[in-house]
Structure 1
């Protein structure tokens, strides 16, 4: 669920309500992009942040149980290459869960700057369905600027993506 309401997104885009489902998908992608850049989750309000932090503890605990089980199963694999592959996959899944857990624990309540950044990303996704825009009547292509990164940078806790 988005921290930004669909109504705010539709108004920002000056879009029709008929596009609600499409815009919700883009809004989710915009918020996910912002969260990945900052390496932290964005919550709509303080109670949602508290719930997210509690869920982070549970996610980490479940990941460790899953990792332990995967390591036991990997030990039963006879072929060394297959066993090492299973160990690598288990390690990747644990690391991924820990990364998600940390992003949830380091979460932040939606600020005006973060909302503006998400809406910039949303506007970009809605208006430009491609990464590069070709100039009308010319042979030049221009990568569109991402002002959202400027707005998100102060909230970044790790390098993110």
Structure 2
């Protein structure tokens, strides 16, 4: 199944004998068109616990923050527990196969993690440790035309038409 929603909790990473896993909660709100009001209205919000194993989980911890819009594709598991004298408890979990930002609601920058490199395990959120923007979180307008070198330093890979073209010589006398 594929879910479209917003990150509701901080991503937690846990090491394990099989390589580790990350988990977070995803809020998914159904929307429908109300013909009487002639507008879109929000329906009920469902919460899913998303599990991402190994490399997917490790990359997720360095890439996602609370409130960001995501697409999550994976296998749904519904847990049912009887907690004694209280009501039965249900939980919906998703074992993720692929996760990505919802590009219909914003931009994102992809950074490939090459074999042997360590993916970031913790993220400072919207700001880095020194209070400035976290690495890779600059606005898309300032990322345009940049690539990340092997050392993690942005480098310009093309010039804009205005800066590369020579100034036109005036015509006429």
More helix per residue: 1
Give the number of the structure whose alpha-carbon radius of gyration is greater: 2
Higher relative contact order (CA 8 A, sep 6+): 1
More strand per residue: 2
Q: Is TM > 0.5 for Structure 1 vs Structure 2?
A: no
- TM-score, with length taken from structure 1: 0.24
- TM-score, with length taken from structure 2: 0.23
